[in-house]
Structure 1
Amino acid sequence: MSINIRELTDASAVLKAIAKHDEVGRQAFHDRYDSGETDQHYLQHGDRLYSAKAIAGAAYDFQPPPTNTPETDSSNVESHADAALRSLGFTVLSGRPTTIDGERNWRQAIWKHLSACRDVDGLVTPDDVRSVRAYGGQQGIWVDKARTKHVHPHGLGVGLKHTGTDYPDEVNDEGALYHYPTTDRRGQDEAEVEATKTAAKVKLPVFMISEQGNRRSVRLAWVTGWEDRSKLFFVTFGPEAPTRLLDKDRSDEQPFELEGSRRRRRTGTVTTRPDQARFKLEVFQRYGPVCPLSDIAVPEMIEAAHLRPDADNGTSDARNGLPLNAALHRAFDAHLFVIQPDTREILVRPQGPSLAQLGIVKTHLDGLENYPHRDALAWRYEKWLEKNKLASAKA
């Protein structure tokens, strides 16, 4: 039937259309009442978002027929739908804002919508995510440049997809380390990274999408920092933007405290450290993602080791840390070697293993742009003497 959407005059018909949408599902509803997926405007009802054009078209069918046969008006249907819905007291939002504030408000509206779409397990469908363009790619970073170029000419990062199989240990309830995309589309990868940094600089949230079988977990996330040499973003979850960006090493800007500030949480038999991701990023920012003792420079093989461990109330300050390859991190925690705090010489136990057996190729911790704090090195050195019963022998 030909319709003139400007003839929509019944608010109750709009509510019936919304109820029908919720009953049959978005796809079936759009197959019946909408053509195409070009929506730019959304009716906001409660916390849910609906295609303004599709709802208006359905509502026209639900209201009593007009007394006069309306003339067909196919021009600019979407704008007419917006006007008709607003005249009936409904809220219509633009899905293509042109300002940073508008984009921020739109993303908060998306978050409310996705939260309202969750099932009993807290998950949503892929269609829920794509219908509001919180994510639209296959993997990695979603910029949605066709939409976000209206806010910034190079686009803005919108979504980060985490498959759950790559680097699963780098995600917890508070945040994540998210690896830059590295594909054969180098120019596009770089553009996606820059668009994500730009979103962070203007305090826009992004959506962290995790696959859970055929469902999706969505978290409101903030890109809080990054480290280009290791190709890592630090992402935090929550309603508020970070107070400052961790975009470079700032560890020397504050007085050093050896104790405190580490948080641990126990769930069953597992103890987690929610700020471990941040600590790793800041260690990499201070020293680089290179093991200074073995010269291994593969970021995926490098861990952030504590001098005074968090279990001993060690601080999360990067000056209490050092990047070590995974094997040397284990050896360090087992007190098989230590760093002398004054000379920064690498020492091993009299009974071995030797430096060569450990895979240590540097006999001194030298040549670094930055060093750990002496207090942290001294604490570890005294612990090493104690564990290896060398303090009394030396006396």
Structure 2
Amino acid sequence: MRIRDLTSAEAVERALAEYDSTGGQAFRARYKFGSSTQYYLSHGGRLYDAKAIAGVAYGYQHSSDGPLPRDHFSGGEAAGSVNPVLRAMGFAVLDSHSRSVEAERAWRLTVWENLLARRDAAGLVTADTVRAVGAYGNFRGIWFDKSRTQGIHPAGVAVGLKHTGQHYPDDLGESGVLYHYPVTRQTGRDLAEVNATKVAAKLQLPVFVITEHGDLRDVRLAWVEGWEDRSSLFLVKFGEIPPTQVLDHDRSEEQPFQLEGNRRSRRNGTVVRRPDQARFKLEVFQRYGPRCPLSGIAVPQMVEAAHLRGDAEGGSSDARNGLPMNAALHRAFDSHLFAINPDTLTAEARPGGPSLEEMGVLYPKLTLEHLPHLDALRWRYSEWLRRTGREQGASAVR
């Protein structure tokens, strides 16, 4: 009983079919094999545990002997081991331990193809399907599999980001997610995970964003588009096309200012899609910091990115068309209860109240290091005057 006696491609095909019909976890459990940690048989857009498939295929070809137990043969590339035997029959065997960025990118896209092929009718996969190919591997939010990826970068490279939706449900959208840095008692581990995620962005390697649906998982191919350390946020973009630029610092002054233009749309006539909103929030935080300049609140979870020319009015997602505001003041601002005079840079309340003090404006004058664009401030103030029924330039009551 030797693995080199496996010569039937048909027997391998039968083992692959059994794996697909029972699922990888049940297949491995039945024949007492563990999950692959390095080598995978690639066939029809799907990945399989190379050693387990070979051992079971041996039993299909040599029925009198039965499946070859895992401790009777070796995996890997050595002569007489699994990989040369499978390749001799025309099967592709892939090494997941990449030795270059290009090879790692190709491996992750192969993993993505496998996950797509194994989706059910609802677009979900089992937890084992995700773990069996190394897209995720622990109980923490960020999985960076340092033992496998440190050959590409000594810090390791993030592979999977788990989003439970419990703590920050509003940050997950159709086009991407604002992913919060981990905060646990293991600060060293937290920092390592953050650094590994930044490495994925710098090397333009995709990651897998995973959300739980009971016992099943939704997996999205994604790219880390940028981050903001003061607010502890990553901007993660869904899709198969990598970002053209990493947003690792404030770049708001690098392009000409545009007051108008966004990708807002309606789906099914009712649901509003705002694909630029997450990026807008990150860039507003990068430009101004995650602190409301009018109230002084500096808790990132309580601060939002407010448009000056609103998204619904065709306002752009340029950070200079925005300001960080705490959630309550953002609502008041959008309700036109106050505005900011572009000449004095001072907040003014709507005549008849409520007053600035009642709304929680403790610091009426903007004293930011970087200010919004004057065109945006002027548009908003003019619109506010129009909505409050006054002429341009009239004094407002504070």
Query: In the aligned structure 2, how far is the partner of 1:39 from the partner of 1:308?
Result: 52
> In structure 1, what is the equivalent of residue 188 of structure 2?
187
Query: In the aligned structure 1, how far is the partner of 2:150 from the partner of 2:389?
Result: 64
State yes or no: 1:57 paired with 2:58. Answer: no
On the 8 A contact 1:5/1:77 being kept in 2, the answer is no
Query: In the aligned structure 2, how far is the partner of 1:29 from the partner of 1:351?
Result: 72
Cα deviations by residue, 1:26-84 (Å, 9 ceiling, x for unpaired): 123213435333531000011110111111111111114799xx9x9946333311000
Give 3-state SS (helix, strand or coil) of 1:59's partner. Answer: helix
Cα deviations by residue, 1:226-263 (Å, 9 ceiling, x for unpaired): 10000000011111111111111111111111111342
Give 3-state SS (helix, strand or coil) of 1:246's partner. Answer: coil
State yes or no: 1:350 paired with 2:351. Answer: yes
Distance 1:262 1:45, change over 3 A: closer
Query: In the aligned structure 2, how far is the partner of 1:25 from the partner of 1:143?
Result: 25
Query: In the aligned structure 2, how far is the partner of 1:225 from the partner of 1:354?
Result: 38
> In structure 2, what is the equivalent of residue 44 of structure 1?
42
| 1:109-258 → structure 2 map (5 Å cutoff) | 109-258=110-259
Query: In the aligned structure 1, how far is the partner of 2:71 from the partner of 2:247?
Result: 53
CA drift at 1:197: 0.4
CA drift at 1:314: 0.7
Query: In the aligned structure 2, how far is the partner of 1:109 from the partner of 1:275?
Result: 29
Query: In the aligned structure 2, how far is the partner of 1:33 from the partner of 1:392?
Result: 80
Structure 2 counterpart of 1:29, one-letter code: F
Distance 1:268 1:259, change over 3 A: closer
Distance 1:123 1:75, change over 3 A: closer
CA drift at 1:86: 0.4
Give 3-state SS (helix, strand or coil) of 1:50's partner. Answer: strand
Structure 1 counterpart of 2:177, one-letter code: A
Structure 1 counterpart of 2:382, one-letter code: E
> In structure 2, what is the equivalent of residue 370 of structure 1?
370
Query: In the aligned structure 2, how far is the partner of 1:374 from the partner of 1:270?
Result: 32
On the 8 A contact 1:262/1:310 being kept in 2, the answer is no
> In structure 2, what is the equivalent of residue 266 of structure 1?
267
State yes or no: 1:312 paired with 2:329. Answer: no
Query: In the aligned structure 2, how far is the partner of 1:157 from the partner of 1:371?
Result: 35
Query: In the aligned structure 2, how far is the partner of 1:100 from the partner of 1:138?
Result: 26
CA drift at 1:348: 1.3
Query: In the aligned structure 2, how far is the partner of 1:318 from the partner of 1:77?
Result: 54
Q: How many residue pairs were aligned?
A: 389
> In structure 2, what is the equivalent of residue 382 of structure 1?
382
Query: In the aligned structure 2, how far is the partner of 1:27 from the partner of 1:351?
Result: 67
Distance 1:77 1:353, change over 3 A: closer
Identical-pair percentage: 58
Query: In the aligned structure 1, how far is the partner of 2:312 from the partner of 2:136?
Result: 39
On the 8 A contact 2:40/2:94 being kept in 1, the answer is yes
Unmatched 5+ residue regions in structure 2? Answer: none
CA drift at 1:151: 2.2
CA drift at 1:363: 2.3
Query: In the aligned structure 2, how far is the partner of 1:127 from the partner of 1:263?
Result: 37
Query: In the aligned structure 2, how far is the partner of 1:270 from the partner of 1:13?
Result: 51
On the 8 A contact 2:171/2:278 being kept in 1, the answer is yes
Query: In the aligned structure 2, how far is the partner of 1:274 from the partner of 1:77?
Result: 46
Structure 2 counterpart of 1:17, one-letter code: A
Cα deviations by residue, 1:5-33 (Å, 9 ceiling, x for unpaired): 11211111111111121222212321343
Distance 1:384 1:123, change over 3 A: same
Give 3-state SS (helix, strand or coil) of 1:242's partner. Answer: coil
> In structure 1, what is the equivalent of residue 17 of structure 2?
19
Query: In the aligned structure 2, how far is the partner of 1:393 from the partner of 1:16?
Result: 81
Unmatched 5+ residue regions in structure 1? Answer: none
CA drift at 1:271: 1.5
Query: In the aligned structure 2, how far is the partner of 1:325 from the partner of 1:117?
Result: 43
Structure 1 counterpart of 2:59, one-letter code: D
Query: In the aligned structure 1, how far is the partner of 2:110 from the partner of 2:374?
Result: 49
> In structure 2, what is the equivalent of residue 8 of structure 1?
6
> In structure 1, what is the equivalent of residue 285 of structure 2?
284
Query: In the aligned structure 2, how far is the partner of 1:29 from the partner of 1:73?
Result: 17
Query: In the aligned structure 1, how far is the partner of 2:153 from the partner of 2:258?
Result: 41
Query: In the aligned structure 1, how far is the partner of 2:133 from the partner of 2:122?
Result: 21
On the 8 A contact 2:162/2:211 being kept in 1, the answer is yes
Give 3-state SS (helix, strand or coil) of 1:109's partner. Answer: helix
Query: In the aligned structure 2, how far is the partner of 1:392 from the partner of 1:24?
Result: 72
**RMSD (CA atoms):** 2.0
State which drifts further: 321-330 or 27-36.
27-36
TM-score (norm 2): 0.93
TM-score (norm 1): 0.94
Structure 2 counterpart of 1:374, one-letter code: L
Query: In the aligned structure 1, how far is the partner of 2:146 from the partner of 2:83?
Result: 24
Query: In the aligned structure 1, how far is the partner of 2:286 from the partner of 2:122?
Result: 37
State which drifts further: 220-229 or 169-178.
169-178
On the 8 A contact 1:265/1:274 being kept in 2, the answer is no
> In structure 1, what is the equivalent of residue 90 of structure 2?
89
Structure 1 counterpart of 2:44, one-letter code: G
On the 8 A contact 1:209/1:216 being kept in 2, the answer is yes
> In structure 2, what is the equivalent of residue 331 of structure 1?
332
Distance 1:101 1:394, change over 3 A: closer
Structure 2 counterpart of 1:207, one-letter code: F
Give 3-state SS (helix, strand or coil) of 1:30's partner. Answer: helix
Query: In the aligned structure 1, how far is the partner of 2:158 from the partner of 2:384?
Result: 46
